Structure 1
Amino acid sequence: MNPEAVFPPFGLRIEAGPMVLRPITDDVLPLLIDAALAGIHDPAFMPFTTPWTDASPEDLPMAVAQYHWGVRARWSPAAWSLELAVEWEGRIVGVQAFTTENYLVTRTGETGSWLRLADHGRGIGTRMRQAVCRFAFDHLDAARVTSAAFTDNPASLAVSRKTGYRPNGSTWHARRGRPAEMRRMVLRPEDLVRGEPITVEGAGPFRHFIGLEE
């Protein structure tokens, strides 16, 4: 029995021009760790609600590996997170995620991502978001996709606007000991700016795995 049969997310592959969203298998993890160690954001700024990038270079590799192993271990029909490595022109440069609870009822998931700092400003963040949203709407029957970013993270909020998300309120979080406002966004199928066409491998087994009828 191959790994894709045991864990169908390993069989997913989403291509959009020079970009591929691919499963984070154990052979991909070292490449992903290298991308994280290369830097994701200015150390003076924290874009994440969980400040995982504050880990030291010695601790970060294990933290990244344990997180992704934990995602697999915790997977259940009631709550799951599809985490895909972003490959751009043959190089692993980041992660694009789609996370949900009670998906069969809500048909809603939240996008989250990171991209190595050297690749910021090249339009890759928008392309990876468009690709995962197209996959959710066209292959997973999603009704809406949500996202969020701190108000002092204009790059992430710009990606949301370019993809077609609309404002959906705000929440407050503690960040490095200070309050920080999080802007909520929501995207519906009719508002999606679809971007590059995608081709998908492994959608059928993945649908069955999460409980969608074929």
Structure 2
Amino acid sequence: MDAWPLRHLVLRTPRLELRPDDDEGLLELVDVAKDGVHDPAEMPFLVPWTDWVAGDGGFGMIKHFWRARSEVEPGNWKINFLARRDGRVVGTQEVAAQSFGALREVSTGSWIGQRFQGDGIGTEMRVAVLQFAFDHLGATIARSAAWLGNRSSSRVSEKLGYRHDGTMAAAPRGERLEHVRLRLDAADFVRPDWEVAVEGLAESVDLLTR
């Protein structure tokens, strides 16, 4: 039994390399966040962490990722992949599951630095973890969410085959907003003309699929 089997896992796409977060990479990710993730007038996240990153130097961010890492258990996990382009961290792509062996469902969430946006990287990151979940772990459903009116996120979801699955109310900055739930069944996944390359799964497949 490897002490930390996820350290072997790598996903490769035409332009990106995704690895589960490590401390060196997290420090790079903090710098990306400090440079800006979104228009300050808007809040695309359910938890408004980007409002705090300048004030605490990224300490809260680091703790969030450490907490997720420490809570990984067989079948119950959250993997925060650091996405690198040309060796440089550009953002993070989360994939998570609860009772995966019974439910065969995952959820995803992501962000990339504002200066890297508009080049299809967000779509490429999400496709990578969807292919990983459906084709390599045996997931049957993937879930995501976006604020009502968030066209950039919605466009990515629509072109990949997601459908609306209800809404929920939230108030990340104290004002009510509608959060749209999204569902993608494996059979409806609109695939690109490339496939993700997965390395190091053998070491962690039992941990992830139980």
TM-score bucket (shorter structure): over 0.9
* TM-score normalised by L of structure 1: 0.92
2:122 alignment partner AA: G
Residue 22 of structure 1 is matched in structure 2 by 19
Give the deviation of 1:58 after TM superposition.
4.1
Residue 103 of structure 1 is matched in structure 2 by 100
Whether the 8 Å CA contact 2:53–2:59 is kept in 1: the answer is no
Aligned equivalents of 1:56, 1:83: Cα separation in 2? 18
Residue 200 of structure 2 is matched in structure 1 by 202
Q: Which has the higher contact order (CA 8 A, sep 6+)?
A: 2
Residue 65 of structure 1 is matched in structure 2 by 62
Aligned equivalents of 1:211, 1:25: Cα separation in 2? 22
Residue 78 of structure 2 is matched in structure 1 by 81
Give the deviation of 1:77 after TM superposition.
2.5
Residue 167 of structure 2 is matched in structure 1 by 170
Aligned equivalents of 2:141, 2:163: Cα separation in 1? 11
Which of 18, 38, 56 aligns to 2:35? It is 38
1:127 paired to 2:127: no
Give the deviation of 1:176 after TM superposition.
1.1
Give the deviation of 1:88 after TM superposition.
1.7
Q: CA RMSD in A?
A: 1.5
Aligned residues: 209
1:190 paired to 2:181: no
Q: Between the two proteins, what is the percent identity of the paired residues?
A: 37
Gaps of 5+ in 1: none
Whether the 8 Å CA contact 2:161–2:189 is kept in 1: the answer is yes
Give the deviation of 1:11 after TM superposition.
1.2
* TM-score normalised by L of structure 2: 0.94
Mean Cα deviation higher: 93-102 or 51-60: 51-60
Gaps of 5+ in 2: none
1:144 paired to 2:141: yes
1:46 alignment partner AA: M
Aligned equivalents of 2:155, 2:134: Cα separation in 1? 21
